Amino acid sequence: MIELVSVSTRYDQSMDDAELLFQGVARQAELVRTGKVSARRLAEASLRRIGLLDPSLNAFRVVRADQALAEADARDAARASGADGPLLGVPIAVKDELDVAGEVTTYGGAGNRTPVAEDAEAVRRLRAAGAVIIGKTTMPEFGQWPFTESAAHGYTRNPWDTTRTTGGSSGGSAAAVAAGLVGAALGGDGGGSIRIPAACCGLFGLKPQRGRVSTAPHPHLWYALGTVGPLTRTVADSALLYDVLSGPADGDRWAARPGATSFTQALATTPGRLRIGYSAKPAVRGVRPHPEHVEALRATAQALRELGHDVREIDPRYPDTTAAFLPQFCGGVRAEAAAMERPELLERRTRQTLRLARLAPEGAVEWAVRAGERLAVRANRVFTGAGSGLDLLLTPTIAQRPRPVGVLDGAGLLTAMLRSLPMIAYTALWNVTGNPAASVPAGHGSDGLPLAVQLVGGQHDEVTVLRVAAQLETIRPWADSRPPDNWTTGRLSG
């Protein structure tokens, strides 16, 4: 049980915990900055919501209750002394593949036991902006799967329907934001792992351009595939967090081209009339999209036309990225597994991945990186080619509806890969190429679960993705759509 201390009456107590946490990070920071709410009040609200709802969701691997309250008090003291920051006093959660000083980085498994001494660079930047790190969120082991299930930490459940998956691998972060446990959470995306859970949980999730956010202390995240970024309720919150997170650090293998302006400032300007192509065609053969996903795609295309854009259906010539993706996937898992203190505790499927990785020595992985660069040129012809020259590509985010939890039960490596294909059929290509791509909410299906579409931008062009997503948010606002919070409490485990 989390013991909380009462808050001074000099702060605004009119908002209940849910109302306060569903405000989003920009508004929360403003409330703290103006003295209407204390950082401690925010942290207490987050901890109460976690204590009430997370037993049914399993979004958090660890909650830093004492540390978060101490950090919040420090933020309040700093504000009283005149300090400021874009995330002053805002509680934020962090996916358990990113180092948080004093906590174990488990990568979703049981193989590590020793707390790390220093924050990852992305976490350090959050703290420097004034954020309070509330806890670390669940993920499948090494982020291998688009379902947040692991032998060590059980199932993570979708706040819209706790019998269904959150997607993955940043499923804990998505569940925490969707349920209003925090206003934002960091995730990672090596094949769709920000966009897929955003789609399943009704959030906005932008995978940035490769190298936009530092992966330090590691030179890369799954070589050229992986990026770090937030899951949020609104486009503006995502822009704010990317302003905090963006920029290279020493040792990063990749660095994105700097923008001409901040992402937040970019949202103040409308994009003008753009050429937007849309297609329901998956980039993975043998996958068929759910009819409601195709309907959401077409409805979004029509909405973009009504916004004044030139929108047309196209037939993209997607390259086969298997030879570029799979060696980097295997090499990335191998590199992370090599750092485990107790490798004998790795999951059976992970050990199978590592056996497959023997077929991709380091030289083969580097070949795959170069192959991905060549494929990026081909894939980006949709944006740069004569006669096409699109500004954005619109697709579904995922092909199937969120599946019941337990997708990975009893599944070996091959079965797990086959079950994953409909979830990554539209997303993984853009990890190989490095392009920015975002999952944008698009209403709800007949099952009550969220629908989503994906906006893909040209290389280094997060700004256009953000601007058009913000236009869609204006005409069909989604941030006030909240899942129920009256599920049966008590740990629901795998």
Active site residues: 95, 169, 193
> 352: Cβ–Cβ under 8 A, 6 or more apart, which residues?
412, 413
Please, is 393 exposed, middle or buried when counting C-beta atoms within 10 Å of its C-beta (0-12, 13-18, 19+)? Answer: buried
Tell me the C-alpha distance between 147 and 168, whole Å.
4
- Dihedral (CA of 353, 358, 359, 361) sign: positive
Hey, what are 269's tokens? 């300007």
Hey, what are 183's tokens? 């206003």
Half-sphere exposure of residue 109: CA atoms within 13 angstroms, side-chain side = 24
Hey, what are 259's tokens? 């923008």
Tell me the C-alpha distance between 200 and 235, whole Å.
17
> How many C-beta neighbours within 10 Å does residue 143 have?
30
Please, is 139 exposed, middle or buried when counting C-beta atoms within 10 Å of its C-beta (0-12, 13-18, 19+)? Answer: buried
Tell me the C-alpha distance between 347 and 72, whole Å.
37
Q: Which residues pair with 395 in a beta bridge?
A: 454
